[in-house]
Amino acid sequence: MNALFALVMLLPLLPLLAAGGITAYILSGQAQGDAGEPPTARLAEGAAWLTLLGLLGLDLLALFAGVPGHVAIGTWFASGGFTIPISFVLDGLSLGYATLVALIGLVSLRFSRHYLHREPGFHRYYILMCVFLAGMLLIVLSGNAVLTFVGWEFAGISSFLLIGYAYDRPVATGNALWAFITNRIGDAGFILGISLAAWWLGTVEWTGLANWAASGSAFDKITARLVLFGFLLAAVIKSAQWPFTVWISRALEGPTPSSAIFYGAVMIHAGVYLVLRLEPVLLHTPGVMLALAVVGALTALYGWLVGLVQTDVKSSLIFATTTQVGLMFLACGLGWFQVAAWHMALHTIWRAYQFLLAPSYMYLVNEKARRVPAWLAGRQWLYTAALQRFWLDQLAVSMLIRPTRAVARDMRDFDDNVLAHLVGMPARRRAGAFSAGDDRDVVIRGHGLAGAVLVWVAERLHRFESRLVMRQGTGPLVRAMRRAGEYLLVLEALLERPRYPILLVVATLVIIL
């Protein structure tokens, strides 16, 4: 039976394969014009169908055979005493939500076929959607934090690329960067959580965390709080909870179906899902739950107030969404995890429907938009604050971006004026290719301090080389040898005269005799 459940590892792979297939199709050069669109769409939808059917099969299996819980398949990699397994968790929550994700993915893909018809980035869009689907399925199904994180990053990067879908518009790319960087803060938290769990608890499995929380004696509240802090930071940011709500309103630049699936319906719930996974640990740390409840309540309040004054469809929807997700966090914080889970599932379905419908609202709704309620309109300061989204945007700019920029500028000045001279980097304007006005005669030259030292040493060595090593003709040794050779020539000349050899012979004879 477990062998059948092990097939779950194929499910996130299917959309990835589709993405690879579409890439190959583009590279083959045949993805051109109207006729090029259906194969791409069919490939993506086919993968989504297969995923959905596979999940439904697993659901049926689980209905009859019971949920297997934790399914370990193998080892991804091991280093030292630390292993990262390939494992999945199949329980009611993950199977149910994964099925929902696959269904919504399929619906959005089908919707996109007409919505994006003749858009320049049609194929690119489908690739990204497939990558996102794979990432989301990994988040929901994986049995350990590392695999979840892989999915988390898949979702993050595809969301970044889809927000910047119209990459020729500066606003879109700027917003994409904003969203991505905010999410990176969450990623840092996730990595912190993973490493603390691996370091202190020796496990990255969700079940391992649950067992540790239930073990009683080994459980330690401070450790738990730190580990939870990392994971929950990631969850709070991914779900755009207060005070990180801003990025989600900037994330609506992407094509509508992608907004629907990412921010309206699926990805925004990834944080809630992570909180639900951490339920066993949370139950032992009431303080953290309280913080979660406060964050959720604040978000709900914030989303409600700001949502009241929005004037366009997508923005009002997104603030309504954050309100609801804030309520889910509140529910989790109060310990009503079951409620939060159901709320999440229902909200997913409803929001997906609403977002996909968003482009048609103007036609569907005939009445005038609802006015701002009187009590809000009367309170000028509150109204302004809501309209300005409580200046969270500006706050982030002045408290984070500006100081960072200032530090970066100082660093660059230091680099340019001090380090570059020390290390000997060529000046900034000359980096890379050699400029046209380069003087031919100075091929060999060093830049900065290191370069000067090198030039100095090279000159000394060159002089040494040419004086002592290369010039044999006039070296002292050669001169001495030449002089010796002259003496020998004289000796030779003497010996050539007959009287000296005869004298020698006579002398020899005398000695012998």
Partner 1 sequence: MLSTLLLLPLLGALMVALLPMRDPVWIRRVALAATIVVSVFAWSLLAHFDPVIAEIQLYEVHAWHDRLGSSFSLGVDGFSLPLILLATLLMPVAVVASANVKQAAKFYFSLLLLLETAMLGVFMARDWSLFYVFWELTLVPLFFLIDRLGGQNRQRRQKAALNFVLYTMGGSVFMLLAILLLYDSASTHSFSMDTIAEASRGLPVTTQIWIFLGLLIGFGVKMPIFPLHGWLPLAHVEAPSAVSILLSGILLKMGSYGLLRAVDTLPGAALALQTLLVALAFISMVYGGVLAWRSRDLKEMIAYSSISHMGVVLLGIAALNHAGFAGATMQMVAHGLVAGALFYLVGLLYERTHTRDIGDYTSLVRTMPRFAFFMILAFTAAVGLPGTAGFIAELHALIGGFARWGGWMVLLSLSLLISAAYALRTVGRLFTGPVGVTMKNVPDLTRTEMLAVATLSFGILAIGLYPAPALHLVGASVTRLSGFFGA
Q: Would you tell me which residues interact with partner 1 (CB under 8 A)?
A: 432-436, 438, 440-441, 443-444, 454, 457-459, 461-462, 465, 469-470, 472
Q: How far is the CB of 74 from partner 1 (least distance, A)?
A: 26
The nearer residue to partner 1, 395 or 484, going by C-beta atoms, is 484
Q: How far is CA 13 from CA 52, 258, 296, in A?
A: 13, 20, 34
Q: How far is the CB of 491 from partner 1 (least distance, A)?
A: 23
The nearer residue to partner 1, 121 or 426, going by C-beta atoms, is 426
Q: Are 88 and 142 in contact (CB under 8 A)?
A: yes
Q: How far is the CB of 64 from partner 1 (least distance, A)?
A: 51
Q: How far is the CB of 306 from partner 1 (least distance, A)?
A: 52
Q: Are 267 and 237 in contact (CB under 8 A)?
A: no
Cβ-proximal residues to 435 (8 Å cutoff; 6+ apart), any chain: 429
The nearer residue to partner 1, 3 or 469, going by C-beta atoms, is 469
- Name the phi and psi angles at 345, rounded to 5: -65, -50
The nearer residue to partner 1, 35 or 443, going by C-beta atoms, is 443
Residues 172 and 167: their CA atoms lie apart, in Å, by 6
Q: How far is the CB of 481 from partner 1 (least distance, A)?
A: 11
The nearer residue to partner 1, 409 or 460, going by C-beta atoms, is 460
Residues 273 and 334: their CA atoms lie apart, in Å, by 16
H helical segments located in 278-333: 279-282, 286-308, 313-333
Q: How far is the CB of 503 from partner 1 (least distance, A)?
A: 35
Residues 192 and 156: their CA atoms lie apart, in Å, by 17
Q: Compute the half-sphere exposure of residue 139: CA atoms within 13 Å on the CB side of its CA.
A: 30
Strand partners, 72: 87
The nearer residue to partner 1, 216 or 476, going by C-beta atoms, is 476
H helical segments located in 83-201: 92-115, 122-141, 145-163, 170-196
The nearer residue to partner 1, 443 or 511, going by C-beta atoms, is 443
Residues 221 and 287: their CA atoms lie apart, in Å, by 10
Calculate Rg over the CA atoms of the chain.
37
The nearer residue to partner 1, 470 or 489, going by C-beta atoms, is 470
Q: How far is the CB of 312 from partner 1 (least distance, A)?
A: 51
Q: How far is the CB of 468 from partner 1 (least distance, A)?
A: 9
Cβ-proximal residues to 194 (8 Å cutoff; 6+ apart), any chain: 145, 146, 149, 204, 230
Q: Name the DSSP class of 309.
A: T
